Amino acid sequence: MRVALTDPVEPIAEAILREAGHEIIPPRGTGPAALRELCREAEAVIVRQKLPDDLLDHAPRLLAAVRHGVGVDFIPVEACTAAGVLVANVPGANTDAVAEFVVAQMLAIARHAEAMHAEHLAQGWGPARARTDAATELRGKTLGILGVGAIGMRLAEIAHHGFRMRVLGHRRDRNALPPHIAYAALPELFAESDYLALACPLTPETRGIASAALIARMKPAAWLLNVARGPVIEEAALVEALRDRRIGGAALDVYWQQPLPADHPLRGFDNVLLTPHGAGLTQESVAEMSRIAAEETVRILRGERPQNFINPEAWTASRRRALEVAA
């Protein structure tokens, strides 16, 4: 069968697909039109960019959409379920990468390493050392985590056991938190955190969860860190808080619109740290995500259930669709 790639994958994934006898359709660009054309004759697609909502109107043979990553907001899951297209993802493969990235964000904020480097080269030893006047330590600070799944758990482990931080967490099942994470309701989480990490999936319930009212509760020196999805924050409220310096700053890896527009106001602030949705991407994590995504694709095309099944309610319809495609 034919497996479309929205973006390149690691060689191990291509080897797995070819060994199973499948043809690979290489990436054909970005944007809805290119993705519709890419999937027109494909039985499966490995997803690394947002698929158009009407994809299935243009992909009559599609049986599987496998996310090369965790968040399935890149896939029109409801439409897939209705049509009998199975959806899978790759949870856990980038857990360490994202957790370590949040730690890197906090260290960059606390120690001003990037600013010291630039000033050391441009202005010399003295001005660069002056940055240490504002340096702080992570030890003893409070880290709040909104969305304590695999990434949040790993982040809490590093922060508490490694840096001796106090860790607060918010999740639906508060009883699932380990002893080193204290449960906090949202108002408490925002009010007490020195660093507040957003690591929740984007769902109708979490869209805009970092609201203007909650941002207003943050400490004047607190930083908001987002490695989830852009729309979990009320963007206008965050921009206003940063502009008025009502919070310490924001370290953002994701945005409402990606790539971040050249004229976006976030680019003009000196109290933000901006990165291009790279928190989960390391050599190790990309190789692991590619491997698992390919294995799940092969599994589905063999007529088996994926291990990381997003829409199991589509199983019966998927069997009918597979028979129609085969005919």
In tens digits, the chain (327 residues) has pLDDT values of: 999 999 999 999 999 999 999 999 999 999 999 999 999 999 999 999 999 999 999 999 999 999 999 989 999 999 999 999 999 999 999 999 999 999 999 999 999 998 999 999 999 999 999 999 999 999 999 999 999 999 999 999 999 999 999 999 999 999 999 999 999 999 999 999 999 999 999 999 999 999 999 999 999 999 999 999 999 999 999 999 999 999 999 999 999 999 999 999 999 999 999 999 999 999 999 999 999 999 999 999 999 999 999 999 999 999 999 999 998
Q: Does 52 lie in the same domain as 31?
A: yes
Identify which of 3, 146, 119 has the alpha carbon closest to the alpha carbon of residue 61: 3
Q: Is the separation of the CB atoms in 188 and 169 below 8 Å? A: no
| pLDDT value, residue 80 | 98
| pLDDT value, residue 327 | 87
Q: Does 263 lie in the same domain as 175?
A: yes
Q: What is d(CA 241, CA 270) in angstroms, rounded to the nearest whole number?
A: 13
Angle at 42 between CA 56 and CA 9, to 5 degrees: 110
Return the beta strands (E) in the chain as ranges. 2-5, 23-25, 44-47, 64-67, 86-88, 142-146, 166-170, 182-183, 195-198, 223-226, 249-252, 272-274
Q: What is d(CA 320, CA 313) in angstroms, rounded to the nearest whole number?
A: 13
Q: What is d(CA 132, CA 216) in angstroms, rounded to the nearest whole number?
A: 29
Which residue in this structure is represented by tokens 């080897």?
15
77 burial type by CB count under 10 A (0-12 exposed, 13-18 middle, 19+ buried): middle
HSE at residue 136, side-chain half, CA atoms within 13 A, is 14
Q: Does 99 lie in the same domain as 87?
A: no
Instruction: For residue 179, give the DSSP letter.
Output: T
- Which pair of tokens denotes residue 197? 């990490």
Q: Does 267 lie in the same domain as 152?
A: yes
Q: Does 298 lie in the same domain as 265?
A: no
Any idea of the CA torsion for 239, 242, 243, 248, to the nearest 10 degrees? 180
Q: Does 110 lie in the same domain as 41?
A: no
Q: Does 38 lie in the same domain as 132?
A: no
Identify which of 326, 281, 283 has the alpha carbon closest to the alpha carbon of residue 301: 326
Q: Does 182 lie in the same domain as 36?
A: no
Other C-beta atoms closer than 10 Å to the C-beta of 284 total 12
Q: What is d(CA 121, CA 42) in angstroms, rounded to the nearest whole number?
A: 52
Encoded amino acid at 287, one letter: A
**Number of independent structural domains in the chain:** 2
Instruction: Find the domain containing 129 and state its range.
Output: 95-274
| pLDDT value, residue 243 | 97
Q: Beta partners for 268? A: none
- Which pair of tokens denotes residue 239? 């921009």
Q: Does 291 lie in the same domain as 155?
A: no
Q: Residue 36: which H helix or E strand, with range? A: helix 32-39
Q: Does 164 lie in the same domain as 83?
A: no
Q: Is the separation of the CB atoms in 13 and 6 below 8 Å? A: no
Q: Does 293 lie in the same domain as 254?
A: no
Q: What is d(CA 237, CA 246) in angstroms, rounded to the nearest whole number?
A: 11
DSSP per-residue letters across 58-83: S-TT--EEEESSS-GGGS-HHHHHHH
| pLDDT value, residue 101 | 98
Q: Does 269 lie in the same domain as 190?
A: yes
Residue 76, domain CATH: 3.40.50.720
Identify which of 14, 62, 26 has the alpha carbon closest to the alpha carbon of residue 41: 62
